Amino acid sequence: MTFASAFLRAADRLPDHFLPAHQQLQRTAGMVAVMLAVALLSACGNKSDAPEAQAAFAKVGVVVLQKQSQVLDTDLPGRTNAFLSAEVRPQVSGIVQKRLFTEGGMVKQGQPLYQLDASSLRAAEASAVAALAKAEASQQTLEATARRNAQLVKITAISQQAFDESQAAAKQARADVAVAKANVETARINLKYSRIEAPISGRISLSSVTPGALVTANQTTPLTSIVQMDPMYVDFTQSTADLLQLRNDWAAGRYQKVEGDRVPVRIRLEDGSTYGHEGKLEFSGLIVNTTMGTVTLRAVVPNPDGILMPGMFVQAQLPTGLAPEAILVPQRSVTRDLTGRPSVLVVKSDDIVEKRTVELGRAIGVNWLLDSGLQAGERVVVDGFQRIKPGDQVNAVEIDLSKRAADKPVDPKAAAAALRAANSSK
């Protein structure tokens, strides 16, 4: 029972003749007002009880697939190596007197690095010079005798045997002089080696000896080493299985081979950042590693800032093929069933949702390279999955995923900094 009906029933229970005239007029006016209120409430109730309007179709975000020319890259593990490397060893024995370089600094080719005690080497040089002078004096005497005997043999003043012996002695004297000159040259070379010089230009490492240490010629342990780091070599490996698959794709016409004598190579560092300078592929191995089943490739990478150091692990990214009519499917649009088979939701021309099974190739950024199952121009659902199912009619709105922050890679350093700030504020 409503308030208005209860009021009317209570008012009807009092006859008019029990009330004064002015109260009868008031009751009549009140009843009219109540009746108007009842009419209004009834109208509102009828309006609220009216059936609701049809709900709008679910709104979903879609992307329109387009054909595009896509370069296919391959990521391969690698390690950096110095462009030039030299281990410095002594070529003569002696005591180290001085170290003439700053450890870790840059040195030039021919720059002195160590000075050895050269006293014995100078003495050896002086002895060799004296031996040469003695040999030259003996040569002069024997050659003069040989010339005189050549005249005397003509008049039979000496025997033929004496003549032959004098000629042989002169030749031996000339040979002795040549040996003495070689000994002098050797002694001077050894004396020069007492000052150990840089064989190449580059950055020098720590010294393994100090002044006062005894070093020997061609010892096993190097005194120090020098590396040239600009440019740098990056050696990386590719499995023969991947190489054969790539060649099959080229032969089948699925991908076009990237032409050019120098294929560009991009480098990703150990912290995940991309190196700022692009390298060039210089060498592709021809011999397979029997243990790993891989071939070695080498790239030359500029290193003007010295960021790359010998022995660093890096990822080399190089183009291996070109798909001239590639179709890229956003990864966020793909779902998989219990067997791992991928599928997407497609909005047809009549705005009806259809589930479509697809075949996918490699991952390219936040997309999959489509092998089959879709055509260019079709609309694929990327937002609003939870509101729809196959067979529903939807309101499809095209969106640009390149502007979505969700598709941008997360910076691990920024995320770590945000986490530290959040923890410190607690």
| Cα gap 414→273, rounded to integer Å | 13
Per-residue pLDDT at 395:
87
For residues 182 and 101, state if they share a domain: yes
Please give the model's pTM, rounded to 2 decimal places. 0.56
Mean pLDDT score of the chain: 78
Query: Per the domain annotation, does 57 fall within a domain?
Result: no
Query: Per the domain annotation, does 219 fall within a domain?
Result: no
Domain that holds residue 22: 3-45
Question: In degrees rounded to 5, what are phi and psi of residue 353?
Answer: -80, 135
Residue of 311, 303, 326, 337 lying closest to 68 (CA atoms): 326
For residues 239 and 309, state if they share a domain: yes
For residues 257 and 205, state if they share a domain: no
Per-residue pLDDT at 54:
34
Per-residue pLDDT at 413:
52
How many C-beta neighbours within 10 Å does residue 128 have? 20
Query: Per the domain annotation, does 276 fall within a domain?
Result: yes
- Please say if the pLDDT value at position 107 is more than 70: yes
For residues 93 and 191, state if they share a domain: yes
- Please say if the pLDDT value at position 262 is more than 70: no
Distance separating the N- and C-terminal Cα atoms of the chain: 58
Q: Is the pLDDT higher at 145 or at 401?
A: 145
263 and 128 in contact (C-beta within 8 Å)? no
For residues 92 and 130, state if they share a domain: yes
Query: Per the domain annotation, does 55 fall within a domain?
Result: no
Q: Provide mean pLDDT across the span 382-403.
A: 83
The pairing of beta strand 58-64 with beta strand 394-398: parallel
Q: Is the pLDDT higher at 101 or at 76?
A: 101
Q: Provide mean pLDDT across the span 103-114.
A: 91
Using 50, 70 and 90 to split pLDDT, how confident is the model at 43? very low
Q: Provide mean pLDDT across the span 152-164.
A: 86
Question: Among residues 263, 294, 323, which one ends one of the domains?
Answer: 323
Per-residue pLDDT at 285:
62
Q: What is the CATH number of the domain that holds 151?
A: 2.40.50.100
Using 50, 70 and 90 to split pLDDT, how confident is the model at 25? very low
For residues 261 and 199, state if they share a domain: no
Query: Per the domain annotation, does 54 fall within a domain?
Result: no
Q: What is the CATH number of the domain that holds 394?
A: 2.40.420.20
116 and 197 in contact (C-beta within 8 Å)? no
Query: Per the domain annotation, does 162 fall within a domain?
Result: yes
Q: What is the CATH number of the domain that holds 237?
A: 2.40.30.170
Residue of 234, 235, 205 lying closest to 307 (CA atoms): 234
- Please say if the pLDDT value at position 48 is more than 80: no
For residues 93 and 130, state if they share a domain: yes
Choice among 126-140, 195-209, 235-249 with the minimum mean pLDDT:
235-249
For residues 275 and 366, state if they share a domain: no
Question: Among residues 288, 304, 323, which one ends one of the domains?
Answer: 323
Question: In degrees rounded to 5, what are phi and psi of residue 235?
Answer: -100, 125
For residues 39 and 96, state if they share a domain: no
Query: Per the domain annotation, does 258 fall within a domain?
Result: yes
CA quadruple 63, 64, 68, 71: dihedral, nearest 10:
20
For residues 234 and 305, state if they share a domain: yes
pLDDT tens-digit profile of 120-132?
999 999 999 999 9
For residues 200 and 231, state if they share a domain: no
Q: In total, how many domains does the chain have?
A: 4
User: In Å, how far are 386, 415, 417 from 424, measured between CA atoms?
Assistant: 37, 14, 11
C-alpha dihedral sign at 408, 411, 414, 417: positive
How many C-beta neighbours within 10 Å does residue 328 have? 19
Query: Per the domain annotation, does 105 fall within a domain?
Result: yes
Q: Is the pLDDT higher at 36 or at 176?
A: 176
Per-residue pLDDT at 267:
87
pLDDT tens-digit profile of 305-355?
888 888 889 888 877 767 777 788 888 888 888 888 899 898 888 888 888
For residues 29 and 113, state if they share a domain: no
